[in-house]
Chains A and B, each alone.
Chain A
Amino acid sequence: MEGPFRRLEAVLFPVTTILMIVCLYRVFLVVPNEVTMGVVQRIFYFHVPSAWVSFLAFFVVFLGSILFLWTRKAFWDVLAHAAAELGVVFCGIVLLTGPIWARPVWGTWWTWEARLTTTLVLELVYVAYLLLRGQAQNRAQEARLAAILGIVGFLDVPIIYFSVKLWRGHHPIVFKTGGGEGLAPVMLVTFMLCMLTFTLLFVLLLIQRLRLGMLRDELAGLLEREQLLEG
């Protein structure tokens, strides 16, 4: 597994770095100010991709947890754990940048409207997931309980996505279907570029975090072997 990861990393690292520089250049020097929100709307270009990546990460947790419960292969548990940590980081970015964007636009840092509340719940569920992993009695129990929480927690993601339509709050609908004016082409290109860059950054970080999980398993195996030899 290490060989393909190394090769993928060798490609992803320079590509993601270059794309990130292009994104920052476009966000700060190319896209025009949005008419109603002004300069602060530029937070959107990193806020929404962070939300997308956190959803993607929690989907990987969901998928990894199902595959672990089904096959009992440790790899899927390590993958789910790695993705959960990244999901919490990116969801944390969403929860930090959202209020900074909301303050000048809505006049308040936080409001208990549906999308914000359900996003906070999502973050708390996966923080609990990470805390649970450190509390369980043994590795098998930890993996089984975490997998159940990883699957149940993901149910919040579609609720967040549809919350703007279900309970009309302040939060704007990013992807409009049907009529209505969307983003200007230059804004749309920048936004899609940021989405791609954040997705690649997620894959790059996931590989690193996956390596950490595998090293932990290797260390546990070595410690077990040492104890056997000493005992």
Chain B
Amino acid sequence: MKNLGYLFWAYTLIWIVLSAYLVSLSVRLSALSSQIRRLKSRLPGGE
């Protein structure tokens, strides 16, 4: 099929961008959550 390579690269790039964003989001979320947990435990009245 003509131009199949273009179709392959378009969809591959879409998934790479979306996956990279999801990974970055979850890394930032877990880093912030653990930082907040640490701080809360250090502060008086914290969990």
Contact = CB atoms under 8 A, between A and B. Distances in A.
Given A96-B17, A100-B9, A101-B10, A40 B29 contact: no
Given A39-B2, A100-B6, A212 B42 contact: no
A30 interface: no
SS of A interface (majority): helix
Interface residues of A, number: 31
Interface in A73-132: 89, 92-93, 96-97, 100-101, 103-104
A215 interface: yes
A219 B29 contact: no
A96 B12 CA distance: 11
A169 interface: no
A57 to B, nearest CB: 12
Contacts of B10: 43, 46-47, 96-97, 100-101
Contacts of A40: 3, 6-7
A40 B7 CA distance: 5
A155 interface: no
A226 B42 CA distance: 9
Interface in B1-15: 1-4, 6-7, 9-11, 13-14
A101 B14 CA distance: 13
Contact of A219 (B6, B35, B43): B35
Interface of B: 1-4, 6-7, 9-11, 13-14, 17-18, 21-22, 25, 28-29, 32-33, 35-36, 39-40, 42-44
Interface of A: 38-40, 42-43, 46-47, 50, 89, 92-93, 96-97, 100-101, 103-104, 205, 208-209, 211-212, 215-216, 218-219, 222-223, 225-226, 229
